[in-house]
């Protein structure tokens, strides 16, 4: 019986031959490649809506004479022969560079979510029962109700010695729980702080006794194979409720669980020592992790099923065979404020120090989504902008996420015209594409030297030598070649790319301006603009200002705080009181619906242009 055959030219130079069993005839090419451990960027959920899974078809498929095709739209018949080349930007094989470092601008207590107390029975009433004496001893350390879990009750039933007693307590949703009673100290207790992002997940393993970071881990949120953004994933659950289980498994079993196991191995700790997890993320990500359908957030009035602090059981959530953490570990989902102002922002509001700042101050998180928080006096205003994932590279000709092989810096000069690019990774690495920080460089410097006009169009007469770098794409669009590219294929920025980038930066800029206008604050009056997230860590603040992403600010006002969502998860892990602080934010924060503001659209349209940059105005 004939079997379909796929000849594959891989980005690393390997040539692979894939023989397709008859049972897989009719599968999408993306599915066949994923089964062969060559997963592509199926960020739209294989619906043919993006260009993430583009492959070059060299021979054997009817692609209407086009040299490129979406792999999710190609299906093989039993006797087909196909030869393809996978571009580097289409393959999810490069290591993501994700911020696991952060800056915490607030002091903290040492009050971890799980800890062991040493209780001396000699200081307690002798006439009380052991359970009463333990409860009284623990109450000296806690200011909330106490309950004994069945495990602690069983330990008491077995009997305990004359002391001292070592009592393990864990934070619940309504107070502290006594989870174990022993005659000797427990092994070192470890917790995990986790930031579940739409695109990436970052994790820290932490010694609960002193807050020391033992290991770090980061990787792609495996939900990206099903949908690249929040709206797509909500839509999937709305159209097919069975997708909820798929999305939950993708983040819990295929993302968090292996990250925990790898981090535990690096730290030299047993998984059973991981006794609690503190999790932040946007509201949709926490719904999906909890197995709660987010469909209600897809239509007005965008109502979440829950926003409060929740505690789940790791044994139910992470399928602990083999064990990734203690089965009875509590998985703490941090509180959020609204459908699109989630726990990640509440965590960042605290960790950055904005909550306690005299202000006026801003927190701006430019990631797969764009969120802005303004603190002015006692007011907290927040909004989410429909910026889309352009700054993550989605939908752009050569856009990729920040990772090895991504061009992260671009320098342009006019006289003589020149282009210099820097890549993430070891010296000599071949560029695979362009990430968001380099696009910001391109917009700002392109406008500064006159290559880009006010609306983003190429002004070739202003920089005549640039004509040598202009190429025409298959769809007729013009593009500027930044680099010759791998194996002779050019890495370019097209006119369409510039248009999409301007739309993304306009949404964020207009969101910032709208919040400032509501509080009657000018940009130069802002004391600190906290710039959060991986994109903010790589981005040149001066170029962000020059291109209009952060309009009207000065570089001296901007402070990069790294992954403020992970920072907040870490704080909650080692200082349980932070959960109450995050919960209080929900009561204070005023969510601004930008589509209801009469001037938002006007600001957005104005921000679609690139401002003039007179020499010396910012630098």
* Residues of the chain above pLDDT 70, percent: 92
Q: Is the pLDDT of residue 519 over 90?
A: yes
The residue ranking higher by pLDDT, 403 or 496, is: 496
pLDDT in tens, 61-70: 654 545 788 8
Mean pLDDT, residues 189-204: 93
Mean pLDDT, residues 424-447: 90
pLDDT in tens, 290-323: 999 999 998 888 899 999 999 999 988 987 678 8
Q: How confident is the model at residue 329 (pLDDT cuts 50, 70, 90)?
A: very high
Mean pLDDT, residues 255-266: 95
Distance CA 195, CA 368 (A): 14
Q: How far is CA 576 from the centre of its chain?
A: 23
pLDDT of residue 62: 58
Q: Is the pLDDT of residue 496 over 80?
A: yes
pLDDT of residue 65: 47
pLDDT of residue 50: 63
Mean pLDDT, residues 411-437: 88
Q: How confident is the model at residue 617 (pLDDT cuts 50, 70, 90)?
A: very low
Conformational region of residue 348, where left means phi above 0, alpha means psi within -120 to 50, and beta covers everything else = alpha
Mean pLDDT, residues 224-237: 88
* Phi, psi of 525, rounded to the nearest 5 degrees: -85, -10
The residue ranking higher by pLDDT, 70 or 138, is: 70
Q: Is the pLDDT of residue 613 over 80?
A: no
Q: How confident is the model at residue 1 (pLDDT cuts 50, 70, 90)?
A: low
| 351 to 311, 365, 567, 571: CA distances (angstroms) | 21, 13, 6, 7
Q: Work out the burial of residue 618: count CB atoms within 10 Å of its CB; fewer than 13 is exposed, 13-18 middle, 19 or more buried.
A: middle
Distance CA 131, CA 148 (A): 8
pLDDT in tens, 532-568: 987 777 789 999 999 999 999 999 999 989 889 999 9
**Token pair in block for residue 500:** 């999409």
pLDDT of residue 21: 83
Sign of CA dihedral 585, 587, 593, 598: negative
Mean pLDDT, residues 3-12: 83
| 488 to 55, 89, 484, 491: CA distances (angstroms) | 16, 15, 6, 9
pLDDT of residue 435: 87
Distance CA 211, CA 570 (A): 9
* Adjacency order of strands within the sheet including 68-70: 15-20, 4-9, 81-85, 54-59, 68-70
Mean pLDDT, residues 418-441: 89
SS3 of 568-582: the string is HHHHHHHECHHHHHH
pLDDT of residue 569: 96
Residues 6+ apart with CB under 8 A from 153: 131
* Cross-strand bridge partners of residue 330: 276, 313
Least confident of 140-154, 350-364, 463-477: 140-154
Q: How confident is the model at residue 22 (pLDDT cuts 50, 70, 90)?
A: confident
Q: Is the pLDDT of residue 379 over 50?
A: yes
Q: Are strands 4-9 and 15-20 parallel, antiparallel or unpaired?
A: antiparallel
Q: Which residue has the tokens 């860590």?
A: 537
Distance CA 88, CA 398 (A): 10
* Residues of the chain above pLDDT 90, percent: 44
Distance CA 306, CA 337 (A): 10
Q: Is the pLDDT of residue 140 over 80?
A: no
SS3 of 368-398: the string is CCEEEEEEECCEEEEEEECCCCHHHCCCCCC
Q: How confident is the model at residue 486 (pLDDT cuts 50, 70, 90)?
A: very low
**Mean pLDDT, rounded, of the chain:** 86
Mean pLDDT, residues 242-269: 95
Q: Is the pLDDT of residue 338 over 80?
A: yes
pLDDT of residue 615: 47
Mean pLDDT, residues 245-251: 95
């Amino acid at each position: 019986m004939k079997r379909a055959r796929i000849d594959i030219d891989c980005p690393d130079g390997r040539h692979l031959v894939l023989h397709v069993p008859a049972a897989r005839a009719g599968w999408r090419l993306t599915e066949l490649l994923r089964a062969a451990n060559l997963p592509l960027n199926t960020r739209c959920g294989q619906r043919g809506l993006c260009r993430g899974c583009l492959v070059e078809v060299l021979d054997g498929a009817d692609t209407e004479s086009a040299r490129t095709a979406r792999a999710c739209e190609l299906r093989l018949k039993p006797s087909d022969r196909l030869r393809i080349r996978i571009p580097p930007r289409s393959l999810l094989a490069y290591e993501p560079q994700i911020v696991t470092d952060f800056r915490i601008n607030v002091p903290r207590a040492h009050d971890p979510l799980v800890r062991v107390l040493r209780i001396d029975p000699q200081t307690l009433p002798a006439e009380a029962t052991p359970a009463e004496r333990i409860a009284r001893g623990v109450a000296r350390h806690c200011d909330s109700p106490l309950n004994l879990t069945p495990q602690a009750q069983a330990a008491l039933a077995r009997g305990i010695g004359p002391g001292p007693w070592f009592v393990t307590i864990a934070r619940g949703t309504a107070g502290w729980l006594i989870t174990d009673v022993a005659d000797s100290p427990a092994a070192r207790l470890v917790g995990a702080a986790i930031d579940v992002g739409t695109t990436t997940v970052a994790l820290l393993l932490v010694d609960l006794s002193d807050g020391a970071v033992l290991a770090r881990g980061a990787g792609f949120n495996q939900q990206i194979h099903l949908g690249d953004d929040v709206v797509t994933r909500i839509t999937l659950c709305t159209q097919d409720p069975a997708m909820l289980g798929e999305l939950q498994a993708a983040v819990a079993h295929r993302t968090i669980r292996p990250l925990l196991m790898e981090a535990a191995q690096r730290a030299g700790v047993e998984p059973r020592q991981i006794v609690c997890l503190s999790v932040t993320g946007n509201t949709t990500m926490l719904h999906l992790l909890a197995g709660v359908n987010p469909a209600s957030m897809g239509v007005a009035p965008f109502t979440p099923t829950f926003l409060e602090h929740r505690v789940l059981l790791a044994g139910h959530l992470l399928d602990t065979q083999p064990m990734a953490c203690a089965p009875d570990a509590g998985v703490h989902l941090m509180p959020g404020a609204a459908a699109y102002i989630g726990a990640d922002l509440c965590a960042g509001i605290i960790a950055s120090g904005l909550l306690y700042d005299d202000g006026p101050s801003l927190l701006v998180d430019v990631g797969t989504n764009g969120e802005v928080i303004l603190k002015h006096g006692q007011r907290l205003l927040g909004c989410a902008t429909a910026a889309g994932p352009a700054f993550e590279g989605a939908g752009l000709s050569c856009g990729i996420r920040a990772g090895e092989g991504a061009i992260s810096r671009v320098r342009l000069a006019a006289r003589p015209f020149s282009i210099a690019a820097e890549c993430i990774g070891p010296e000599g690495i071949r560029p695979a594409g362009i990430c968001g920080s380099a696009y910001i460089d391109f917009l700002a410097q392109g406008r500064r030297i006159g290559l880009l006009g006010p609306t983003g169009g190429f002004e070739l007469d202003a920089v005549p030598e640039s004509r040598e770098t202009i190429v025409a794409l298959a769809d007729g669009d013009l593009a500027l070649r930044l680099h010759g590219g791998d194996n002779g294929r050019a890495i370019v920025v097209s006119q369409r790319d510039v248009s999409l980038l301007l739309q993304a930066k306009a949404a964020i800029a207009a969101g910032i301006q709208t919040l400032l206008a509501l509080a009657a604050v000018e940009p130069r009056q802002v004391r600190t603009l906290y710039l959060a997230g991986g994109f903010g860590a790589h981005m040149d603040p001066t170029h962000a200002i020059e291109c209009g992403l952060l309009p009207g600010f000065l570089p001296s006002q901007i402070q990069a705080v790294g992954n403020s969502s992970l920072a907040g998860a870490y704080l909650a892990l080692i200082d349980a009181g932070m959960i109450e602080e995050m919960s209080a934010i929900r009561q204070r924060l005023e969510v601004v619906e930008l589509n209801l503001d009469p001037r938002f659209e006007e600001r957005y349209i104005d921000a679609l242009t690139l401002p003039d940059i007179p020499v010396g105005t910012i630098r």
